[in-house]
Amino acid sequence: MLRVNPLLGRLLLPADDEKENGSQVAVLSYACWKVRFGGDPGIVGRTVSVNKHPYIVVGVAPEGFNGTERFIWPEVWVPVQNEAQIEGYQWLHERRDSNAWVVGRLKPGISAPQADADLARVAAGLARQYPDADKNLTLRVAEPGLVGDVLGAPIRMFLTGVMFLAGLVLLAACANLGGLFAARTADRGRELGIRIAIGSSRGRILRQLMTEAVILATGAGLAASLAAKLLLAGITHLPISAELPVQFAVQPKPEVYAFAVLLALATGLLFGIIPARQVWRTDPNHVLKASDATDLKRRRITLRDILLAVQIALCCLLVTASFVAVRGLQRTFCVPLAFQPEGVVLATTDVHLAGYSEATETLVQKRLLEAVQAIPGIQDAAWSNTTPLSINQSNASIWALGTSDCKYPPAVGYQTEGLDNQ
């Protein structure tokens, strides 16, 4: 399906998912195999524990393969039919749950709009068959890698803004480069006139100036590409605290660096042409008779002033946009969250995976809460089934017991243990 060959052993097969908990096998990621098992070449066939359940390692994924998502890197793959055993909850049998990501390939000759139309018919059929759960169901095609369109659209908008600012920086640099070439050529006006007078062709002089511009631009492009590679490597190794194994590994392909070099080359050629007009219009007799190149400078002042004005305008726009972005970032750190995150320690537990039943769940949580409250230095403690800004959110309504204006009977109210003023 994904055209991936295992480094060791095999990958998961359709037979591994034929029935619930029917195959206790697992495939390790390359990083997991290296870090947790020291790159043991004899790992295939060994038994490992996944949430206290024994699983046989049947293979190791190749280096660089981290699943279908770009920034979510699993350490181990198990059959999806084992989800109740691993997670303690059978969401595969609940139609209202949408925890599964389905990846497929379009048939040859089938476009995305055609697939969307087919999926719309499937969704309409499910809505008729299961009106309670699938009444508002919509299905459509989205490229994998960024949780479909959930993160794809925001990231594309963000990158569009970043590329727009990068384009403005490039234009400002090009204006600076053009002004530099124009000033340098104006200062060399007498030299160019003398060279033309002694027999040098204008084309030869122009080739020299173009070569100088291309060398300068290409060298700057190579230096910028190296700096970008180092910065991206730093971003890749940033430690990220998240509930999922997130890793921002941004590794541009060789085509990206080739495009950067070609862009630098094109920039050098484009703005290296600026001195061409002066070279072709240079009169050696006038240059040799004149005590300086005042006339040439006058002719170049207008062009240099235009380039300078463009550069100043772009720089002002960039500085303003940067200050706006910094101010927006600063405001995000000052957004009222309705709680104080300073001095708070969050610990996550799952009593179901620890083997406790629903009957003993509340008792265990109360004992944990009392034990934490007894720790010296703890001012207050509470437990909850979810936390703000986490990925595991709930749409359940919560109100105080005995509330008369709630739209549900008081018998189904939630008792909030340890949650004062929440």
pLDDT digits 0-9 by tens, 209-242: 778 888 888 888 888 888 888 888 877 777 666 6
Exposure letters 80-119 (e unless 16+ CB within 10 A, then b): ebbbebbeeeeeeeeeeeeeeeeeeeeeeeeeeeebeeee
Q: Which residue has the tokens 């990220």?
A: 240
Q: What is the rounded CA–CA span in Å between residue 68 and residue 267?
A: 37
Can you read off the two tokens belonging to residue 67?
């699943």
Secondary structure of residue 34 in the 3-state scheme: helix
Give residues with Cβ within 8 angstroms of 288, minimum separation 6.
193, 194, 197
Q: Using 50, 70 and 90 to split pLDDT, how confident is the model at 419? A: very low
Secondary structure of residue 9 in the 3-state scheme: strand
**Candidate from 11-20, 78-87, 190-199, 208-217 with smallest mean pLDDT:** 190-199
HSE toward the beta carbon, residue 181, CA cutoff 13 A: 32
Q: What is the per-residue pLDDT for 33?
A: 94
pLDDT at 420 over 80: no
Tell me how far CA of residue 386 lies from CA of 92, 98, 177, 255, 351, in angstroms: 21, 18, 55, 44, 14
Cβ–Cβ under 8 Å, residues 17 and 80: yes
Q: What sign results for the dihedral spanned by CA atoms 231, 234, 238, 244?
A: positive
Q: What is the rounded CA–CA span in Å between residue 6 and residue 30?
A: 10
Q: What is the rounded CA–CA span in Å between residue 16 and residue 26?
A: 10
Please write the tens of the pLDDT for every residue from 300-314: 455 666 767 777 887
Alpha carbon dihedral 185, 189, 192, 193, in 10-degree steps, equals 160
Q: What is the rounded CA–CA span in Å between residue 200 and residue 1?
A: 65
Can you read off the two tokens belonging to residue 257?
């660096």
Q: What is the mean pLDDT of residues 338-355?
A: 78
Cβ–Cβ under 8 Å, residues 62 and 6: yes
Query: What single DSSP character describes residue 54?
Result: E
User: From the CB of residue 168, how many other CB atoms can be counted at a distance below 10 Å?
Assistant: 16
Please write the tens of the pLDDT for every residue from 376-405: 988 888 888 777 666 666 666 777 777 655
Phi, psi of 399 (to 5 degrees): -150, 165
Give residues with Cβ within 8 angstroms of 179, minimum separation 6.
304, 307, 308, 311
